[in-house]
Amino acid sequence: MEQVNIGMIGGGTVGSGVYHAWQRNSGLMASRLGMRLHLGKVAVKAFDEPRPYEIPASCMTTDWKAVVQDPTTQIVIELVGGVTLARTMVLTALKLGKPVVTANKALLSAHGEELFAAARAGGTNLYYEASVAGGIPIIKVLREGFVGNRFTHIYGIVNGTCNYILTRMKLEGAEFADVLAEAQRLGYAEAEPSLDIDGFDSEHKIGILASLAHGFWVNPRQIYVEGIRQISRQDMQFAQQLGYTIKLLGIVKKVEGAGRKARNGSRAQVSVYPALIPNTHVLSNVNGVFNAVFVRGDVVGDTLFYGRGAGKDATASAVLSDVADAALDLKHRSHGRVPPFVPHERAGAVVPIGETVSRYYVRLSVIDRPGVMARIAAILGAARIGISSIIQPEGHAGESVPLILMIHDAPNAAMAKALARIARLPVVKAPPVMIRVENFD
C-alpha cells in the first residue's frame, strides 16, 4: 500500500491530540483511503513540555526546519499558533511545494492572502478545516457541500469560552467576572482571556467563513467586533423574562443594495457581537463549550452544524480530515482540486456597521418620575426609531429604576446617535446598555 509521510510542527495539547488520534485510527484511515498515512516526525518546543497524550521521544525533535526540509516529509501540519514564527514555518513548507495543514485562524486572518498566493506559487495547497469551529467540518460544508448555494445568512457560536461563560451566567444567575474567574481557575478560559472574551477569536473565524461565503477576502479590520465583558446578570435575566437568551454571535448577512451599490457586487454585514436570540431558536440551546454554525443557503434553506469547537480531540478530527485530503491530492496529483480560496467577487464589500439594520434591547437607568418616558420616546420618535415594547419592572427602590425598551429595526448609526442623546438627559443615571436582537428572519 502506498505511504505518505507527514511531519508535524507542534507537540502540545492539539499536536499530541493529533498524534493520539492518528495512532488510534490510522489503520481505519488506510483502509478508507487506500493509502497509509505515516506521522513519523514531530517538532516540539521541548521534549518535556506538558501534553495530554504521549508522543514517543524517537519521533520528536526541537528543530522544526529539520521536519519541514526533510526530503521524505510530504505533508506538513502546523499547530504552533501565533502569527510570526508560524507564518515563516508555513511559507517555508509551501515554498518547498509541500501541502500544509493548519489550525491557525489568527494566521489565516492576518496573512491569508499571502499564504494562498504562496501555495499557488509553490504548486501546492493549504488546508485549514481545523481553523474554524474545531470538529465541525464547516469549511468543507461551505466550499464543497454547499457549492451550489448563495449564502444569505451565517450565524456562528464559534467561541467555546464565551459560550461557556454566557451559559453559566444564564443557568446560575452569575455575574460575568465571577464566572470568568472560575473558568480560569478550572482551565476553561485562558489566563489572558482577551482573545476570546473580547471577540477577536470569533472575528478571525467569522472572517474566514464570510470570505468563503461571499467570494472576497475579508480584511479583519472591516469586521465590527464587540465582546461579552459588558454583559451583566441583570441583562441576562431581563432577556430571559422577554423570552430570549444572550449569545455571542458571529454574523454574516448578505445585504441587498440599491442602485449602483447593488450592481457593484456582493455586500455583506460581517460582525461579532452579543445578541438576544429567541428561546425558540435552536441556537439558544447550544450550551457550554459547544459551537454551532447556522447556514442559510438560497437552495438548501436553513441548516445547522453543531459540535465541539476546540480541544485536542475535536481539532485532531479536523486535522486528520485535511491530512486525508492532502494525501489523496498528492496521490492523484490534484492539489488544485479545492484551492484554499478562490476570489470570485471582485467588487465585494463589507458594509460598515452603522449602515446595517438591527433590532435592539436597551436598558436605561432612569429616575422614576412623570415625563421621563415621554422625553425618551420623543428622541427615538424624532430619529424615526420605533419602540416595540417597554418594561419598567416594579419593586426597584433607590434613586434610579431600570427601563427596558425593545426597539424595532433601525440602522445602527441612527440608534447610536439617539442613544447618545438619551444618555445626556439628566434623568438618565447610567450609560445606556444596548444589545442587538437577532430574530433570524
Question: Annotated catalytic, 429?
Answer: no
Output 195 or 383, the one with its CB closest to ligand HSE: 195
Q: How far apart are CA 202 and CA 353, in angstroms?
A: 17
Output 11 or 134, the one with its CB closest to ligand HSE: 134
- Establish if 199 lies at the interface with ligand HSE (CB under 6 A): no
- Establish if 109 lies at the interface with ligand HSE (CB under 6 A): no
Q: In the bound complex, what is the minimum distance in angstroms from residue 310's beta carbon to ligand HSE?
A: 3
Q: How far apart are CA 202 and CA 208, in angstroms?
A: 10
Burial class (CB in 10 A: 0-12, 13-18, 19+), 58: exposed
Which position among 201, 203, 235, 329 is part of the footprint of ligand HSE (CB under 6 A)?
Answer: 201
C-alpha cell at 123: 504548486
Output 105 or 359, the one with its CB closest to ligand HSE: 105
Output 10 or 432, the one with its CB closest to ligand HSE: 10
Q: How far apart are CA 224 and CA 373, in angstroms?
A: 31
Residues 303-322 that bind ligand HSE (CB under 6 A): 309-310
Q: How big is the chain, counted in residues?
A: 441
Q: Comparing C-alpha atoms, which of 246, 229, 234, 243 is closest to residue 167?
A: 246
Q: How far apart are CA 316 and CA 21, in angstroms?
A: 7
Q: 7: helix, coil or strand?
A: strand
Q: In the bound complex, what is the minimum distance in angstroms from residue 148's beta carbon to ligand HSE?
A: 29
Which position among 129, 196, 203, 438 is part of the footprint of ligand HSE (CB under 6 A)?
Answer: 196
Backbone angles phi and psi of 43, in degrees to 5: -90, 130
Q: In the bound complex, what is the minimum distance in angstroms from residue 357's beta carbon to ligand HSE?
A: 29
Output 5 or 13, the one with its CB closest to ligand HSE: 13
Q: Select which of 170, 205, 247, 254 is catalytic.
A: 205
Separation of first and last alpha carbons in the chain: 52
- Establish if 160 lies at the interface with ligand HSE (CB under 6 A): yes
Q: Across the strands, what pairs with 268?
A: 254, 350
Q: How far apart are CA 175 and CA 183, in angstroms?
A: 12
Q: In the bound complex, what is the minimum distance in angstroms from residue 196's beta carbon to ligand HSE?
A: 5
Output 108 or 236, the one with its CB closest to ligand HSE: 108
- Total residues at the site for ligand HSE (CB under 6 A)? 7
Q: By CB under 6 A, which span of 36-44, 80-88, 154-162, 263-271 interacts with ligand HSE?
A: 154-162
Q: In the bound complex, what is the minimum distance in angstroms from residue 160's beta carbon to ligand HSE?
A: 3
Output 196 or 226, the one with its CB closest to ligand HSE: 196
Strands 433-437 and 357-367: antiparallel
Q: In the bound complex, what is the minimum distance in angstroms from residue 309's beta carbon to ligand HSE?
A: 5
- Establish if 161 lies at the interface with ligand HSE (CB under 6 A): yes
Q: By CB under 6 A, which span of 158-166, 232-240, 353-361, 409-417 interacts with ligand HSE?
A: 158-166
SS3 for 96-161 is CCCCEEECCHHHHHHHHHHHHHHHHHCCCCEECHHHCCCCCCHHHHHHHHCCCCCEEEEEEECCHH
Q: In the bound complex, what is the minimum distance in angstroms from residue 99's beta carbon to ligand HSE?
A: 22
- Establish if 193 lies at the interface with ligand HSE (CB under 6 A): no
Output 226 or 329, the one with its CB closest to ligand HSE: 226
**DSSP letter, residue 59:** G
Q: 241: helix, coil or strand?
A: helix
C-alpha cell at 14: 492539539
How far does CA 319 lie from the centroid of its chain? 17
Q: Across the strands, what pairs with 302?
A: 296
Q: By CB under 6 A, which span of 89-97, 155-163, 166-174, 317-325 interacts with ligand HSE?
A: 155-163
Q: In the bound complex, what is the minimum distance in angstroms from residue 413's beta carbon to ligand HSE?
A: 31
- Establish if 159 lies at the interface with ligand HSE (CB under 6 A): yes
**DSSP letter, residue 420:** H
Backbone angles phi and psi of 176, in degrees to 5: -55, -50
Burial class (CB in 10 A: 0-12, 13-18, 19+), 113: middle
Binding region for ligand HSE (CB under 6 A): 159-161, 196, 201, 309-310
> Would you name the residues annotated as active-site residues?
205
